[in-house]
């Protein structure tokens, strides 16, 4: 696709806008309608966690639910962890429902409320399956060494983070989506050829049945090593041109080429270890323990305090993580341009993604800095045009 041009008053051609005022207004309206629900959910979840962790309320909750199951230390650990997870999920539920209603009004939801509820229960079950063994292991360590428990716990957190990164596409993704191999044909061959030309080994090309939940478009490359595969939403395949699908996948291959998944896993593992170390420091602070109603780190009633500190650290580090993510996504965009040499289709692909996903193509800068994991559509398109302008023309390549 080439940019259309219109004459300026001085007679010089300039590109016409990539998005009409109506399209910009639609994306802006969705963002404004969703923002109260998104911010409300974050603030409510953090506030609940802080109240439970920094007051005796959390300690009382752990004691009460533990007593329902016999009052033993193990009962307090497991029942307390389950209660914290359940309360957190219940607090988020109305905000998730509100955001879903907004997205449904904009035509982005194809799933009914029953399916949404089933997905919420699946998410809860997965969270409990992870949280309960982690809590049990954590308090087994604190029981053995109330002062230095965080040393082995930090190593275990790093290993668990790395393992989950490897196992996620095999164990978690299939819980929410069905994946089928892409039918043999020109597009599958083009995607595999793109990966081969990029020097990236992939196990398969799969199609996710995203259309039973949403009309949004996406594709990604998931997994490490033997679990790596290209995954395309069926909505993307039914809506976008084959060349646009290739551009989306080329972007995702850029993450693999630059080892973004591996780097992210390593950084996540290091971050998990650092968080556990900071939790160890917090659990030794008498003022915090006194405020929370716990005696020491080995006391299961300290669990809400640890959860509160972890949540606060996550909230504070959020903007930094978003900034890193935007830089990584920008690099992947550049990789897609270099791999395909097709800025026109890249721009067409960005327009299609933005319009179909009803994105705010030019959001307020403060929101972008605080919450955006990807550059805005206008920034990505401008970067593609800048790349095209820097690329040598065919005549310049002739020697």
Domains of the chain (ranges; CATH) run 20-153+276-387 (no CATH), 179-256 (3.30.2010.10)
Q: pTM (2 decimals)?
A: 0.86
Establish whether 344 is a catalytic residue.
no
Q: Tell me the HSE value of 291 on the side-chain side, using a 13 A CA sphere.
A: 17
Q: Coil, strand or helix: which one is 365?
A: helix
Catalytic residue among 173, 246, 252, 368: 252
Nearest to 346 by CA among 359, 329, 363, 333: 333
**Alpha-carbon gap, residue 131 to 79, rounded angstroms:** 11
Per-residue tens of pLDDT for the chain, all 399 residues: 344 433 333 333 334 479 999 999 999 999 999 999 999 999 999 999 999 999 999 999 999 999 999 999 999 999 999 999 999 999 999 999 999 999 999 999 999 999 999 999 999 999 999 999 999 999 999 999 988 999 999 999 999 999 988 888 778 888 888 999 999 999 999 998 988 888 888 888 899 999 988 998 888 887 766 677 888 999 999 988 899 999 999 998 999 889 888 898 899 999 999 999 999 999 889 999 999 999 999 999 999 999 999 999 999 999 999 999 999 999 999 999 999 999 999 999 999 999 999 999 999 999 999 999 999 999 999 999 999 998 865 434 334
Measure CA 51 to chain center: 26
Residue 272 in contact with residue 252, Cβ under 8 Å? Answer: no
Say how many residues make up the chain: 399
């Amino acid at each position: 696709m080439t940019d259309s041009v219109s004459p300026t008053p001085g007679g010089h051609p300039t590109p016409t806008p990539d998005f009409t005022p109506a399209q910009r207004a639609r994306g802006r309206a969705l963002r404004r309608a969703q923002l109260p629900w998104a911010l409300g959910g974050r603030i409510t979840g953090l506030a609940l966690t802080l109240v439970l962790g920094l007051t005796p309320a959390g300690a009382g909750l752990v004691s009460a639910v533990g007593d329902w199951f016999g009052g033993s230390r193990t009962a307090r650990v497991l029942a307390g962890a389950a209660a914290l997870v359940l309360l957190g999920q219940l607090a988020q539920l109305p905000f998730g429902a509100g955001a879903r209603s907004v997205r449904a009004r904009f035509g982005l939801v194809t799933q009914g409320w029953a399916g949404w509820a089933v997905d919420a229960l699946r998410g809860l079950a997965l969270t409990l399956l992870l949280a309960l063994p982690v809590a049990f292991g954590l308090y087994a360590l604190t029981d053995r060494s109330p002062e230095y428990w965080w040393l082995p716990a930090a190593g275990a957190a790093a290993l668990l983070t790395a393992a989950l990164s490897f196992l996620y596409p095999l164990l978690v993704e299939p819980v929410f989506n069905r994946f089928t191999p892409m039918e043999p044909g020109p597009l599958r061959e083009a995607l595999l050829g793109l990966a081969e030309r990029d020097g990236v080994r992939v196990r398969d090309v799969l199609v996710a049945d995203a259309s039973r939940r949403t009309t949004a478009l996406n594709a990604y490359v998931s997994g490490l090593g033997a679990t790596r595969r290209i995954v395309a939403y069926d909505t993307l395949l039914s809506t976008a041109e084959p060349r646009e699908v290739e551009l989306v996948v080329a972007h995702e291959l850029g993450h693999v080429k630059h080892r973004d998944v591996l780097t992210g896993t390593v950084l996540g593992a290091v971050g998990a270890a650092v968080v556990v170390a900071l939790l160890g420091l917090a659990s030794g602070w008498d003022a915090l323990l006194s405020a929370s109603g716990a005696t020491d780190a080995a006391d299961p009633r300290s669990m809400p305090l640890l959860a509160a500190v972890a949540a606060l650290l996550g909230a504070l580090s959020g903007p930094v993580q978003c900034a890193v993510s935007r830089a990584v996504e920008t690099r992947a965009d550049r990789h897609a341009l270099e791999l395909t040499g097709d800025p026109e289709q890249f721009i067409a692909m960005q327009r299609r993604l933005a319009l179909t996903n009803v994105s705010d193509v030019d959001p307020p800068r403060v929101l972008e800095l605080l919450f955006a994991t990807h550059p805005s559509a206008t920034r990505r398109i401008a970067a593609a045009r800048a790349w095209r302008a820097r690329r040598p023309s065919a005549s310049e390549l002739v020697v």
